[in-house]
Amino acid sequence: MKSTVIGGRPYYRGSSSSSNGWIQSQEFDELRKDLEEVKKERDELWVKIVNIEKLNEENNAMRIDG
């Protein structure tokens, strides 16, 4: 990621070719916080998936045994 100072404020430009402009450091920080929230939600969903899979396996085992 490249950075520069425009009008005394730092701006950043993404390294990907789809990035079409500069963003202010405050916007960059907000995007970073949003990304952290998304990662946290993703991790929480993975825990739920694992728990559901365990319950499903237990349920299937009870059907076979019962």
Are 23 and 6 in contact, with CB atoms under 8 Å apart? no
48's tokens: 């739920």
Structure confidence at residue 33 (pLDDT): 94
Per DSSP, the three-state class of 2 is strand
Beta-bridged to residue 31, according to DSSP, are: none
Structure confidence at residue 17 (pLDDT): 47
Structure confidence at residue 4 (pLDDT): 64
pLDDT digits (tens, 9 = 90+) for 5-48: 556 676 766 655 445 566 778 888 889 999 999 999 999 999 99
> What is the rounded CA–CA span in Å between residue 28 and residue 13?
10
Radius of gyration (C-alpha) of the chain in whole angstroms: 22
> What is the rounded CA–CA span in Å between residue 42 and residue 44?
5
Structure confidence at residue 32 (pLDDT): 92
Structure confidence at residue 65 (pLDDT): 76
Structure confidence at residue 66 (pLDDT): 61
